[in-house]
Every structure is written in C-alpha cells, then in structure tokens.
C-alpha cells in the first residue's frame, strides 16, 4: 500500500539525535528551564540557517506588510520548534484534543459517516497533528502522503502510537507519484495530501495568495474526479494547552456527467476560496506558516 523508495537524501535540519535529545530534556527538565533553552536553540538556528532565514524574511515581509526584524524571524522559527515539541509529546502519550471550528459542517458530516474522502492539508500550526488525531480520536483509517526524509523521528513515533490506522504513501520518486496515490486511493480509506508544497505534485495550478500569484499542488482534485470522491481542505491551529482547532472548507464533490473542464473550474474556485481563509488566518497568526521556502 506504500512505496518504499531508496534511502532519502533529503533530511530535516539538525542532527539525527536531535529529536531524542529534545524528548529527553522534556522528561528531565522543568518547562520553566526547558522553554528558554528551546528559545536559545532557536536563535542558533536563525543564525545558522541563512537560506531558511531569507525565506522567512520574504514571507514575513509580505504577511506583515513591513520589514521584519530578527525577533519576527525568531518567532517564526520558534513556532516550528513548538509544533515539533507538541508532536513529540503527543507521540509520548500526552493527551491532545482536536475540535472543529463551528462552521466546518461538511467536515463534521464526514466524520459522522463512513465515507472516504481526499483530505487536503497545509503546513500550518498543528495540521500534522490533526491528521494523526483523525486516527486517534475518530478511529478513521488514514493514508498520509509524505516525502520520506532521513530524520523524521516525530512522524515515526506518532505513527507508532496510532498503529495500523495510519499508513504512509512515500512519494520521493516523482515518477511513481500517481501510481502510489491511485494504489492508496483504491483502498477505500481516507487519503491525506499536503496542498502547499508542489515539489512532488504531478499537477499544479496558480492561485492568488498573499498579494501575488503562487503555485500550489492541484493533484488532489484530479484524483477526486478519478475516484469520484469529495475533497475537504483543512488545517489545524493551536488553541491553548492540549487543544487544536481544525479549520475546514466545504466539501468539493464530483458531479456525475459534468464536463471535466467545468469540474476543474469549480475545483479552482473551491481551492481559491479556502486560500482566502488560510490567508486571513496567517495575517492574524503570521508565525504559524511552517514553510521556509520561496512563496
């Protein structure tokens, strides 16, 4: 059900033992000591990662509408650190509740049903964790489409906690992408695809986002038409200790007999409408965009 490519050259920043070191510190140090340590370590990352720092500045310049300072960049980097720490803590057994925003009626209706969907996610806030909690809270079988990286202990640990309800579709080889997605989609389980990084997407489209034309993956809608499944877009936002709120789009549903061009036009409108919601959230919470790539 999942491709197993050769060992990936891509890796997350930091040493291979970094995640285990953070988990150890979390167990032995009080938070009043450990949080300042994480903040200091984040300053080291800001200074030692010029490429990511430049991408952070470029994004913050757009979303803030002003020239960002180093403290703004640090806050952006620190949000990634805190998102990682939460994933490690949940993987270790920390309770965490994901709730739906009041307007997410189609998402709630899907959770109350047994229908599979195509779930589009974004690198925002606690979105990765919300995907895993679909299995943990709702007991839904989910296939997560991911890029295999050389040091992803947090993802592996979360998968270990939620067991057989979470499966991975590895898409390191772009030539195998559609084959892998079709294979997983035919299982009848929910398929979760990331919709904000187009590196390994077979289909991309340009949309209005943060004041410019930006390229986003669009494969999820082509799969919707192939499999006749609805699409739900979502992201998870931190909402205080032990809780995240899932923001979700209305469902995009294929219509039998509809011309493909008309269906894709509806799909583009559906995605663009959700990007408006994403942008509004980011302008209010700029540090929660956990991408350090060119816009």
Domain chopping of the chain, boundaries: 96-286
Tell me, rounded to whole angstroms, the distance of Cα 41 from its chain centroid: 24
Give residue 8's pLDDT band: very low, low, confident or very high (50, 70, 90). Answer: very low
Q: Please, are residues 169 and 143 in contact by the beta-carbon 8 Å criterion?
A: yes
Confidence of residue 20 (pLDDT cuts 50, 70, 90): confident
CB 273 within 8 A of CB 233: no
pLDDT at 234 over 90: yes
Length, in residues, of the chain: 295
* Higher pLDDT, residue 7 or 169: 169
pLDDT confidence of residue 191: 85
CA-based R_g, the chain, Å: 19
Choose between 157 and 33: higher pLDDT: 33
Each residue's pLDDT tens digit, 70-113: 999 999 999 999 998 998 888 888 888 888 999 899 999 998 88
Nearest to 239 by CA among 130, 76, 106, 78: 130
Tokens of 161: 């906690």
pLDDT of residue 177: 61
pLDDT band at 48 (very low <50, low <70, confident <90, very high): very high
Q: Assess contact for 18 and 157: CB atoms under 8 A.
A: no
Residues 6+ apart with CB under 8 A from 288: 79, 124, 125, 237, 238, 281, 282
Question: Which span out of 6-20, 69-83, 100-114, 134-148 was modeled with the highest average pLDDT?
Answer: 69-83
Spatial separation of the C-alpha atoms in residues 209 and 195, rounded to whole Å: 13
**CA angle at 169 for the pair 165 and 171, rounded to the nearest 5°:** 160
Predicted confidence (pLDDT) per residue in 274-291, tens digit: 999 999 999 999 999 999
């Amino acid at each position: 059900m999942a491709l197993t490519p050769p060992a990936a050259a891509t890796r997350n920043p930091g040493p291979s033992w970094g995640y285990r070191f953070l988990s150890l510190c979390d167990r032995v140090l009080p938070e009043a000591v450990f949080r300042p340590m994480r903040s200091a370590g984040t300053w080291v990352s800001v200074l030692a990662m010029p490429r990511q720092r430049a991408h952070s500045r470029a994004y913050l310049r757009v979303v803030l509408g002003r020239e960002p300072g180093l403290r703004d960049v640090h806050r952006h980097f620190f949000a990634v650190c805190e998102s990682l720490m939460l994933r490690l803590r949940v993987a270790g057994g920390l309770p965490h509740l994901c709730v739906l925003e009041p307007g997410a009626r189609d998402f709630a209706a899907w959770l109350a049903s047994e229908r599979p969907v195509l779930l589009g996610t974004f690198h925002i806030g606690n979105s990765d964790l919300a995907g895993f909690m679909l299995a943990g809270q709702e007991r839904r079988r989910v296939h997560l489409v991911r890029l295999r990286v050389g040091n992803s202990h947090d993802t592996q640990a979360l998968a270990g906690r939620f067991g057989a309800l979470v499966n991975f579709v590895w898409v390191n080889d772009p030539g195998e992408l559609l084959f892998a997605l079709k294979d997983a989609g035919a299982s009848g389980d929910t398929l979760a695809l990331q919709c904000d990084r187009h590196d390994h997407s077979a289909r991309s489209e340009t949309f209005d986002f943060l004041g410019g034309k930006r390229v986003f993956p669009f494969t999820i809608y082509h799969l919707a038409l192939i499999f006749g499944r609805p699409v739900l877009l979502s992201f998870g936002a931190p909402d205080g200790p032990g809780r995240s709120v899932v923001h979700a789009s209305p469902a995009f549903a294929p219509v039998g007999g509809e011309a493909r061009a008309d269906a894709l036009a509806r799909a583009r409108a559906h995605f663009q409408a959700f990007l408006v919601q994403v942008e509004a959230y980011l302008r209010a919470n700029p540090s929660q965009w956990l991408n350090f790539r060119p816009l």
